[in-house]
Chain A
Amino acid sequence: MPDDVNREPAELDTLVRGWRHRVASDGMLDPPAIDELEDHLQRSMQDPSLRALSPTERFTIATCRIGHPDALVREFTRSSGGRLWSRRLTWMAAGVLGFLAYQHLTGWLFISALVLTEEVVLPYAGWFGLIATTNGLLIAGLCVGIVLLGRGRLVRERKYRPNASTSLGFSLWVALVVLTATPLLARWVALPGIDQQAANFNDLVKFRAYHDIQFWMHQVVLPLILPGIALWVGWRRFRTA
């Protein structure tokens, strides 16, 4: 039955991928740790005592032997408390950076829309847009980078760097430096439009819509997002405790 022979390894592959996904879904285990567990699972399925069984049955027994994914994650996190907290802080930083990116980009879009609808040609408005967009894109890029690193997509095939959190910390530091330095640099070199930017900002606050956006951002969205992240981290902690 060649069809069955071909179907079973494919089915087994799907099962192993599903198991891997389940173990990785908490984001608490490093990709190398998951690779190591998967190698164990594969080796376990080759156990001579299971030879007479079907691949699916071998998979079921091997996963029972290796332990429930939740128990595995719990055991790993218990033995690596420090690394776990650095990872949680990284995810929190990703959340805050994501929000900042959203704020920068929406601010820029709002101003662009305002310029178009009011048919106001801001003198040297390009500089203003450039600075806001550069910051927004930089933060958004970093945020995506952090998420990918956290999921192990960037370093998985290459040699694993055990101090990935150090790299992330460095990235955050660079982001803060750039975010602080960009407006300062713009003022220092007296970029055309920097005064206009301040003046136009003062004009902008006259618009009710701008006030509304500021209100929603600072009084509603931010106060909801940060406790939301804290609650989410707490819930994960409770679940893995």
Chain B
Amino acid sequence: MPGKDLVAASARPLVLSILEQGESYGYAILQEVKRRSGGHLEWTDGMLYPVLHKLEKQGHIKSRWDTAPDTGRRRKYYRLEQSGHTALQEQRRDWLAVHNTLADLWGIKPCPTT
């Protein structure tokens, strides 16, 4: 299981990447992270929301309230904004640079950077 710092650092690109695939909400984003990571990445659920709020404050994502079909309660949905797409591209470049450096050092095939 990755350490707390790595999990915190990866939250931003993970959220942006999931929202790139379409509008979503907190619980569903967490489930998607768990599914995609095969259970290797697990956050304390509540820690996701400050990340979402910060991304919204920075203008990378936008939220709206709607009625949830499963609970009938109000739910906050998030979607990616144009600046979020740009931020995601930057994140992708940075993370791949780190990944490829480590992959090279460890003798693993690097990822394409585009």
Contact = CB atoms under 8 A, between A and B. Distances in A.
Contacts of B51: 79
Interface residues of A, number: 22
A36 B53 CA distance: 11
Interface in B4-37: 25-27
Contacts of B54: 79-80
A62 to B, nearest CB: 8
Interface string A17-40: 000000000000000110111111
B62 interface: no
B85 interface: no
A65 interface: yes
A44 interface: yes
Contact of A76 (B26, B50, B57, B70): B50
B70 A75 contact: no
A202 B74 CA distance: 61
B26 A36 contact: yes
Interface string B50-70: 110110010000000100101
A46 B70 contact: yes
A67 interface: yes
B50 A66 contact: no
Interface stretch (B39-47, B87-95, B97-105, B106-114): B39-47
Interface string A118-131: 00000000000000
B68 A43 contact: yes
A75 B75 contact: no
Given A75-B50, A79-B50, A79-B53, A40 B74 contact: no
A39 B73 CA distance: 7
Interface residue SS majority, chain A: helix
Contacts of A205: none
Given A32-B76, A33-B53, A79-B53, A42 B71 contact: yes
A78 interface: yes
Given A39-B75, A75-B50, A79-B51, 17 more contacts: A32-B76, A35-B76, A36-B75, A37-B46, A37-B49, A39-B25, A39-B73, A40-B26, A43-B70, A43-B71, A46-B70, A66-B46, A67-B44, A67-B47, A72-B46, A76-B53, A80-B53
Interface of A: 32-33, 35-40, 42-44, 46, 65-67, 71-72, 75-76, 78-80
Interface of B: 25-27, 44-47, 49-51, 53-54, 57, 65, 68, 70-71, 73-76
25 contacts: A32-B65, A35-B76, A37-B46, A39-B25, A39-B27, A39-B71, A39-B73, A39-B75, A39-B76, A40-B45, A40-B46, A40-B49, A42-B73, A43-B70, A46-B71, A65-B45, A66-B46, A67-B45, A71-B44, A75-B50, A76-B49, A79-B51, A79-B53, A79-B54, A80-B54
